[in-house]
Amino acid sequence: SNVLTQPPSVSVDPGQTAKIACGGNNVGSEDVYWYQQKLGQAPVLVVYDDTDRPPGIPERFSGSKSGNTATLTIRGVEVGDEADYFCQVWESQTDHGIFGGGTKLTVL
Amino acid sequence: QVQLVQSGAEMKQPGSSVRVSCKTSGGSFTSYTFSWVRQAPGQGLEWMGRIIPVINKMYYAQKFQGRVKFTADRSTSTVYMEMTTLKSDDTAVYYCALAYNMGFSPWGQGTRVTVSS
C-alpha cells in the first residue's frame, strides 16, 4: 500500500500561521482528511474532502492540495491548537484507510 | 448527534483474546459503517478494518486477517471487535469510528488494551 508522509513536528508562535504537509502518491487522486488529536483524547475530524470543514470546526482550519501534497493550514494559532495532526486517505485500490504518521504541533 | 461509547480498559495475558464493544446512541444504527482504528503507545493511527451492519459485511486490513473479528448486534446498536492470540505489541488504544464520507467521524473515546504477562 502507499505511504502518507508528514513532518514529525511543526512549531509556531501564537497568532501565527501553521502549515502541515501530507505527501504521497495517492494524495493527488484521493480525498484527504485531517484529524486533530489532543493529548489523551480521541481524534477529531477537522477537514474532509480536501478542503471542507465539519460543523463546529473554526474557520481558522483549512485544507488545500497541490499535486501529491495536501496541506492543513491553521491561521491565528492558539495555545489550545497544540495537538497531533494526522492526514488520511481512503485507498481505493485496496479499499483500506491509510493514515500519515502524524505531526506534533507545538505552540511556542 | 450520534455518540459512540466504548467499553472499559482491559488487561490481558499474551495468547488470550479480548473483545471491545462500541455502543451507538442517537442516529440510525443500520445506516452506519463502522471502522476500527488502533494506536500503540506514542505511535500513529492504524486502520484495522470496517463493518457494515445493514448488509453484515466485514472487511479487514491484511495485517489483521484471521486474528480479528467484527460483529454487530442491531438489538443494542453495538458493534464489537474481537482479537485473538494477543501479543505484547497489540498493546494499544482501540477506537471505533463512523464513516464520514471516506473519513471517520465521530470517534469513540477509545479502549486501552494492555497485553502483559
Q: Tell whether B111 lies on the interface with A, counting CB pairs under 8 A.
A: no
CB-based contact A97 B37, cutoff 8 Å: yes
DSSP state of A108: -
Q: What is the pLDDT of residue B26?
A: 86
**Which among A51, A28, A33, A44 has a CA at the least distance from the CA of A84?**
A44
Q: What is the pLDDT of residue B78?
A: 96
Question: What averages of pLDDT result for each successive group of 10 residues across chain A (108 residues)?
Answer: 89 97 94 97 98 96 97 98 97 92 96
Cell of A44: 477529531
Task: Please state, in angstroms and rounded to a whole number, the distance separating the CA atoms of residues A60 and A67.
Answer: 23
Q: What is the pLDDT of residue A26?
A: 87
Query: Please, which pLDDT band fits residue B30 given cuts at 50, 70 and 90?
Result: confident
Q: What is the pLDDT of residue A1?
A: 57
H/E segment holding residue A80: none
Task: Please state, in angstroms and rounded to a whole number, the distance separating the CA atoms of residues A94 and B108.
Answer: 25
**Residue A43 is nearest to which of B45, B46, B59, comparing CB atoms?**
B45
CB-based contact A96 B100, cutoff 8 Å: no
| Residue with cell string 450520534 | B2
Q: Is the distance from CB of A5 to CB of A100 less than 8 angstroms?
A: yes
Q: Dmax of chain B from CA atoms?
A: 41
In chain B, which among 8-67 make CB contacts under 8 A with chain A?
Answer: 35, 37, 44-47, 50, 59, 61
Residues 6+ apart with CB under 8 A from B62: none
